Structure 1
Amino acid sequence: MTDPVLSLREAALSLQGNAGPVDILEAISLDVHRGDTLGLVGPSGSGKSSLLMLMGGLERATGGTVTALGHDLTTMSEDALARLRRDHIGVVFQSFHLIPTMTALENVATPLELAGNPDAFARAEEELTAVGLGKRLNHYPSQLSGGEQQRVALARAAAPRPDILLADEPTGNLDSTTGTAIIDLLFGLQERHGATLVLVTHDPGLADRCARVAELSDGHLSERQPPKARTA
């Protein structure tokens, strides 16, 4: 088997609270390989989003190691982490994090331009068309529905052709019908680009669309097979 795209070894995260340090994650070990789809579930406050942030280098582990694409994220500088995310890791949040003064096209193209991509706007248009927004390119976030804004966020994450897609409750602010459409698009993007997908969700049924499911509880991780894997 090839080396994992994401690898955590005894990874831990402690944050300083008013009453002293609080252990968020303890001794997490996990390998995720190229093309994997992994659902992360667990009760509210279990550390799902924190674990995803460790994988993307948005939080730094306070113990153990976190490796992405062969890079030890625990030792990299902030600038190096930012370059790694720019070129190889797409992140989709529950809140869309679009720039309100930019059109949909500009929101998707700007990160590509910053990376020096010569066809930034052409690729941005291609990705927006792929998520059904080909006729909304010049609309601003305030002119788009929540579902449309999340589609822009998906296009922005997918446009650099990332090796890794990290999605943190991407349907949390959407109604169930719109959320289902967004998840269909997310898995479609993952398949189209051959990316590794890690999906944080509170919905076990949604997690079961992934090939693997891992559950966080009290800072510890356990993995189970989703129903489709058990019946395959």
Structure 2
Amino acid sequence: MTEPVIALRDARLSLTGAAGPVEILRGITLQVARGETLGLVGPSGSGKSSLLMLMGGLERATGGEVIAQGRDLTALNEDQLARFRRDNMGVVFQSFHLIPTMTALENVALPLELNGATDAFERASEELAAVGLSTRKGHYPAQLSGGEQQRVALARAAVARPAILLADEPTGNLDGANGAAIMDLLFGLRDRHGATLVLVTHAPELAARCDRVVLLADGRIADEGAQRNAAE
């Protein structure tokens, strides 16, 4: 059997609040196959986004193991986690998190520049073209619509050809037409780069496009779903 690209084993997350510790994730065991598209669904507060953050090393598990690309993320320090994400992951948030003082082109090129790529702007320009923003690459985030900003965020996440794409409610701040366009682009980027895609969504039409859907409730997996036949 092929080694999964992401594997969680009894992963737990608890945060300490004024009233004491609060259990967010209560023992998640889950594997994501290489090249799979996995949707995480469930009611608000069920732990979907927290689970995605564990997978990306953006939250540190307080129990269990989180393995990605064969590395135990719970054993890495913050610098090691940052390098691992830089080399292996692209992350798209509901809020676009673009740097306001940088143009679209500069925002997309930034991950490559930080990695020392000499062709950062050329590759960033190609990625912006792939999301239909060739004519907007010199614009700043404030000069772009919400849909355009999310396209820039998608291009930035994909520009380094990551093995893993993580998306947290990527259509949540967009209207129906822009949301549909972002869905098409997200799956197009996955297909073009051969990445494993894990996304959190409340949108049934987005979840329906995934190979598998996992339902979370109260910090636990309520239904792990079944992998669709690749021929379907």
Fold shared, TM-score > 0.5 on shorter chain: yes
RMSD (Å) for aligned C-alpha atoms: 1.4
Q: Which amino acid aligns with 1:92?
A: V
Structure 1 match to 2:187:
187
Deviation (angstroms), 1:205: 2.7
**Does 2:82 align with 1:85?**
no
Structure 2 match to 1:199:
199
Q: Which amino acid aligns with 1:25?
A: L
Secondary structure in structure 2 of the residue aligned to 1:192: helix
Structure 1 match to 2:73:
73
Structure 1 spans left out of the alignment, 5+ residues? none
Q: Distance in 2 between matches of 1:110 and 1:218?
A: 37
Structure 1 match to 2:151:
151
Q: Distance in 2 between matches of 1:223 and 1:80?
A: 31
Alignment CA distance shift 1:230-1:186 (3 Å):
closer
Structure 2 match to 1:96:
96
Q: Distance in 2 between matches of 1:229 and 1:200?
A: 22
Q: Distance in 1 between matches of 2:157 and 2:90?
A: 4
Deviation (angstroms), 1:229: 5.5
Structure 2 spans left out of the alignment, 5+ residues? none
Structure 2 match to 1:178:
178
Q: Deviations over 1:21-75 (max 9, x none)?
A: 0000011001111100000000001110000000000000001000010110001
Q: Deviations over 1:183-222 (max 9, x none)?
A: 1000000000000000100123311110000010011112
Q: Which amino acid aligns with 2:14?
A: S
Q: Which amino acid aligns with 2:122?
A: A
Structure 1 match to 2:11:
11
Deviation (angstroms), 1:131: 0.2
Secondary structure in structure 2 of the residue aligned to 1:74: helix
Structure 1 residues 155-170: aligned runs within 5 Å: 155-170=155-170
Question: TM-score, length-normalised on structure 2?
Answer: 0.97
Q: Identity of counterpart residues, as a percentage? A: 72
Q: Distance in 1 between matches of 2:19 and 2:229?
A: 43
Question: TM-score, length-normalised on structure 1?
Answer: 0.97
Structure 1 match to 2:58:
58
Structure 1 match to 2:224:
223
Structure 1 match to 2:36:
36
